[in-house]
């Protein structure tokens, strides 16, 4: 005899949770709609989500990437493209498998990693990024609905989607890196040799010169020539390097492709032209900028002038300065003062007071006066102005400034230099 369960033991149908939704299968309309709603919410604030993801994955990032503004920009751009691609796909087709994002940004990033012979733990980086994105996704999902079963279904299928997308994306990046490896082998060898020089490896100068095709015993001016855009900059950069070479009067130079958007250059010269000359020669190449180090000589000079140029480059990119050219000699003090943007802005306000908002001519007069050794006559000559004009401007500046020029000229000059950096020439 077959027994049947009593009505008291039966589980009400409405208490049985629905089957776990599978990725690619048709979602219940209410799950699909919640998926679309959460994706849309995050898409509208995708920039903040990208920052969160980037900050999380930075903990496992190769230090060489963290120190290079160009590679950081490429990585950030790729991360933003990946986030927007996944969110947009799920707004249009919630819950369906999302193909990896494959575009020019990925090719450029893969190529530049190969050029620098950099290896990244992609799995670890994506794992940290997904963890950060998942936390934010859960927060929005939980706030979007009071239906616990509905939220659980959404979280289940969305997590599957994220993980499958991550796996496919990692494979795509690895494939792109492999495809680019044969194209950048010679460029990578040059960069590897430069890395050996910068690390002071015990190799003979003759051997290093043979590898680079460049004489290390002479004079050098190091430079970083880069394009504000990430892609399509190669042709402009090659021509721009030649233009800068003409400006410094150095037909012989060494060029290393640091990234798609940047070149490291050493000009065989001891002369350094003024920045206006460099800017004029860059005129035909919109978006291309340059920083230069101090002239130096020999193998050690090769190192120091390059470090100078890279430091100056970091100042302009870190501060968001619009200047197209910069020199380490002008930016060394500003470099130290602008590592903390908030502190540097406070220094300007506290030092200059109302002078910070004065017209450019008045502030330029003060800075020129200080740089000319506090000589109004020399400042007037340099500015093509009458000495009395310079003195009247100085008197006016002292009335406006929170710090008189003669009381603390170093602090005033530093504040004016920081302010100058943020303004176009």
186-205: b or e for each residue (b if 16 or more CB lie within 10 Å)? Answer: ebbebbebbeebeeeeeeee
Q: What is the mean pLDDT of the chain?
A: 82
Q: Is 287 left (phi over 0), alpha (psi -120 to 50) or beta?
A: left
- Given a cut of 60, whether residue 9 has pLDDT beyond it is no
pLDDT value at residue 88: 92
Tokens of 30: 């209410």
Question: Would you place residue 132 in the very low, low, confident or very high pLDDT band (cuts 50, 70, 90)?
Answer: confident
Question: Would you place residue 40 in the very low, low, confident or very high pLDDT band (cuts 50, 70, 90)?
Answer: very high
- Given a cut of 90, whether residue 419 has pLDDT beyond it is no
pLDDT value at residue 155: 92
d(CA 88, CA 36): 9
Burial degree of 156 (CB within 10 A; 0-12, 13-18, 19+): middle
Crossing angle of the two packed helices 104-115 and 148-181, in degrees rounded to 10: 50
Q: For the ranges 3-12, 106-115, 258-267, 333-342, which has the lowest average pLDDT?
A: 3-12
pLDDT value at residue 60: 63
What is the H or E stretch that residue 301 is in? helix 298-319
d(CA 179, CA 114): 10
- Given a cut of 90, whether residue 239 has pLDDT beyond it is no
DSSP 94: T
- Given a cut of 60, whether residue 250 has pLDDT beyond it is yes
- Given a cut of 90, whether residue 72 has pLDDT beyond it is no
- Given a cut of 90, whether residue 303 has pLDDT beyond it is yes
Question: Would you place residue 254 in the very low, low, confident or very high pLDDT band (cuts 50, 70, 90)?
Answer: very high
Tokens of 47: 């920039």
The span from the first CA to the last CA of the chain, in angstroms, equals 97
Assess contact for 209 and 190: CB atoms under 8 A: no
Residue for token pair 């100078």: 308
Tell me the average pLDDT across 267-289.
89
- Domains of the chain and any CATH numbers: 21-181 (1.10.490), 186-327 (3.30.70), 340-421 (1.10.10.2840)
d(CA 280, CA 283): 5
Question: Would you place residue 90 in the very low, low, confident or very high pLDDT band (cuts 50, 70, 90)?
Answer: very high
- Given a cut of 60, whether residue 126 has pLDDT beyond it is yes
pTM over 0.75: no
Q: For the ranges 71-80, 220-229, 256-265, 295-304, which has the lowest average pLDDT?
A: 71-80
| Cα dihedral 157, 160, 164, 165 sign | positive
Nearest Cα to Cα of residue 253 among 290, 202, 199, 200: 290
Strand bridging mode 296-297 / 253-259 = unpaired
d(CA 151, CA 137): 11
pLDDT value at residue 290: 94
- Given a cut of 70, whether residue 7 has pLDDT beyond it is no
What is the H or E stretch that residue 58 is in? none
Residue for token pair 């506290």: 350
- Given a cut of 50, whether residue 2 has pLDDT beyond it is no
Assess contact for 57 and 213: CB atoms under 8 A: no
Tell me the average pLDDT across 171-196.
76
As a whole number of Å, the CA-based R_g of the chain is 29
pLDDT value at residue 59: 59
Strand bridging mode 288-292 / 325-327 = parallel
Listed in sequence order, the residues at least 6 apart from 234 whose beta carbon sits closer than 8 Å to its beta carbon are 260
DSSP 13: G
- Given a cut of 80, whether residue 20 has pLDDT beyond it is no
pLDDT value at residue 181: 66
Residues paired with 220 in a beta bridge:
296
d(CA 210, CA 266): 16
H helices within 257-296, ranges in order? 275-281
- Given a cut of 80, whether residue 236 has pLDDT beyond it is no
φ and ψ of 146, to 5 deg? -95, 0
Instruction: Check residues 138 and 99 and name the one with the higher pLDDT.
Output: 138
Instruction: Check residues 313 and 336 and name the one with the higher pLDDT.
Output: 313
3-state SS class at 290: strand
- Given a cut of 90, whether residue 338 has pLDDT beyond it is no
pLDDT value at residue 424: 61
Nearest Cα to Cα of residue 168 among 134, 111, 126: 126
DSSP 228: S
DSSP 375: -
- Given a cut of 60, whether residue 16 has pLDDT beyond it is no
DSSP 16: S
Question: Would you place residue 67 in the very low, low, confident or very high pLDDT band (cuts 50, 70, 90)?
Answer: confident
pLDDT value at residue 4: 36
Question: Would you place residue 17 in the very low, low, confident or very high pLDDT band (cuts 50, 70, 90)?
Answer: very low
Tokens of 143: 């706030």
Total residue count of the chain as it appears in this document? 425
- Rounded alpha-carbon distances, angstroms, from residue 109 to 118, 171, 330: 11, 14, 32
Question: Would you place residue 304 in the very low, low, confident or very high pLDDT band (cuts 50, 70, 90)?
Answer: very high
3-state SS class at 256: strand
- Given a cut of 90, whether residue 346 has pLDDT beyond it is no
């Amino acid at each position: 005899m077959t027994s049947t369960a009593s009505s008291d033991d039966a589980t009400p149908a409405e208490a049985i949770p629905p089957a776990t939704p599978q990725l690619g299968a048709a979602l219940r309309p209410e799950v699909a709609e919640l998926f679309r709603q959460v994706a849309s919410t995050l898409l509208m604030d995708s920039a903040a989500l990208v920052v969160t993801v980037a900050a999380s994955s930075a903990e496992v990032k190769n230090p060489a990437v963290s120190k290079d503004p160009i590679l950081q920009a490429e990585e950030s751009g790729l991360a933003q493209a990946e986030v927007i691609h996944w969110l947009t796909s799920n707004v249009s087709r919630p819950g369906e498998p999302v193909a990896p994002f494959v575009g020019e940004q990925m090719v450029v990033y893969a190529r530049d990693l190969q050029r620098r012979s950099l290896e990244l733990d992609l799995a670890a980086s994506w794992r940290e990024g997904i963890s950060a994105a998942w936390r934010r996704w859960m927060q929005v999902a939980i706030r979007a609905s009071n239906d616990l079963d509905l939220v659980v279904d959404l979280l289940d299928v969305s997590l599957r989607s994220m993980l499958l997308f991550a796996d496919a994306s990692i494979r795509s990046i690895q494939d792109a890196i492999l495809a680019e490896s044969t194209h950048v082998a010679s460029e990578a060898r040059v960069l590897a040799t430069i890395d050996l020089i910068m690390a002071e490896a015990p190799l003979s100068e003759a051997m290093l010169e043979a590898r680079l095709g460049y004489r290390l015993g002479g004079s050098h001016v190091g430079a970083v020539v880069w394009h504000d855009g990430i892609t399509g900059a190669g042709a402009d950069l090659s021509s721009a390097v030649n233009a800068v070479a003409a400006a410094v009067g150095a037909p012989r130079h060494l060029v290393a492709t640091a990234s798609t958007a940047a070149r490291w250059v050493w000009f065989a010269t001891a002369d350094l032209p003024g920045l206006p000359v460099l800017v004029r020669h860059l005129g035909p190449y919109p978006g291309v900028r340059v920083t230069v180090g101090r002239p130096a000589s020999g193998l050690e000079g090769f190192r120091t002038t390059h470090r100078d140029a890279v430091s100056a480059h970091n100042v302009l990119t870190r501060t968001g300065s619009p200047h197209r050219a910069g020199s380490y000699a002008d930016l060394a003090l500003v470099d130290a003062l602008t590592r903390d943007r908030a502190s540097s802005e406070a220094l300007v306000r506290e030092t200059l007071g109302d002078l910070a908002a004065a017209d450019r001519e008045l502030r330029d007069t003060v800075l020129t006066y200080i740089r000319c050794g506090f000589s109004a006559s020399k400042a007037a000559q340099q500015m093509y102005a009458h000495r009395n004009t310079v003195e009247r401007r100085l008197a006016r500046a002292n009335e406006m400034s929170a710090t008189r020029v003669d009381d603390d000229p170093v602090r005033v000059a530093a504040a004016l230099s920081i302010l100058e950096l943020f303004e176009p020439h």
